[in-house]
Amino acid sequence: MSETIIYEQPLNERIRTLLRLESLFRNIQETLHGPAPASSHATLERLEEILSLTDRSELKKDLMKELERNHITLTALKERSGVNHQQLDDFLGKLKQLNRELDAERSKPGQEIRNSEFLKSFRQRAGIPGGLSDIDFPHYHFWLNLPAETRIAALSEWVSCFDTVREAVGLVLDMIRRSATPTTVTAINGFYQHSLDKNTPYQLIRVTLPADSPYYVEISGGRHRFSARMMVPSLEERPAQAMEDVSFQLTTCIL
């Protein structure tokens, strides 16, 4: 179990979408190979969300722009001393490869499964309370009762349609997270505010707390400033801001 919990806040909608996709790709791997019908159901729900997020025509272009921008940034490192040129060349090659693979897909990611009548029906009924019950969707009831290996094979094939997008999303976010070093700061009476240089392309705010901290963090902000509030959780009442000073690790990611 991790010793820390990291809270993240994107500073633009493009990074917000990538973070949502990353979360869905991570969650889908936790249920994809589960033999129980409930695992298959959870996997299909995540797949439907991925299809919805990747409906945006700009997503592929945004990813390609991010990969190309990072390629340019990292290429400049070749002139610096102490750089492992073999590792850098391998990484630059990976960026180029993913860019080519995305460019080769002339339609939306996952287009090969968007025309599946079964998945179309699932997506339509998933938004209706109880719409996936056996009385409303007998085809789905039949599918859930197929042998586990049959369901897992189908799900694995559908999910694999997004392998290039998943890898590109993971690579872009990993580079952004590695672009800055954490510093220790203090939220006075549970509140911290920080101004950002408008000429610096900040992408992501990360707040790290110990896993046993009694607080969680609410981060809000935009291009020019952000704030972090240390909140006392409650399942019965509205969460309240901490009244004491709280130190935490702050990372303002730029790349």
CA distance 44 to 119: 9
Asked whether 191 and 227 are in contact (CB, 8 A), the reply is: yes
Q: Are strands 240-241 and 183-187 parallel, antiparallel or unpaired?
A: unpaired
CA distance 162 to 54: 10
Asked whether 195 and 210 are in contact (CB, 8 A), the reply is: no
User: Which of 204, 174, 164 shows the shortest CA–CA distance to 14?
Assistant: 204
Q: What is the per-residue pLDDT across 16-75, written as a single tens digit (0 to 9) for each?
A: 999 999 999 999 999 999 999 999 999 999 999 999 999 876 888 889 988 988 888 888
pLDDT for position 76: 80
Domains in the chain, CATH or no CATH each? 13-174 (1.10.3900.10), 180-253 (2.60.440.10)
Asked whether 118 and 139 are in contact (CB, 8 A), the reply is: yes
pLDDT for position 57: 67
Ordered DSSP codes for 85-131 = HHHHHHHHHHHHHHHHHHHH--S-TTHHHHT-HHHHHHHHHHTSTTT
CA 52 to chain centre: 14
Q: What is the per-residue pLDDT across 166-220, written as a single tens digit (0 to 9) for each?
A: 999 999 999 899 888 999 999 999 999 999 988 888 899 999 999 999 999 999 9
Instruction: Give, in order, the Cα–Cα distances in Å from 38 to each of 49, 155, 208, 220.
Output: 17, 13, 33, 35
Q: What is the per-residue pLDDT across 60-107, written as a single tens digit (0 to 9) for each?
A: 888 998 898 888 888 887 777 667 778 888 888 888 999 999 988 878
CA distance 210 to 70: 31
pTM beyond 0.75, yes or no = yes
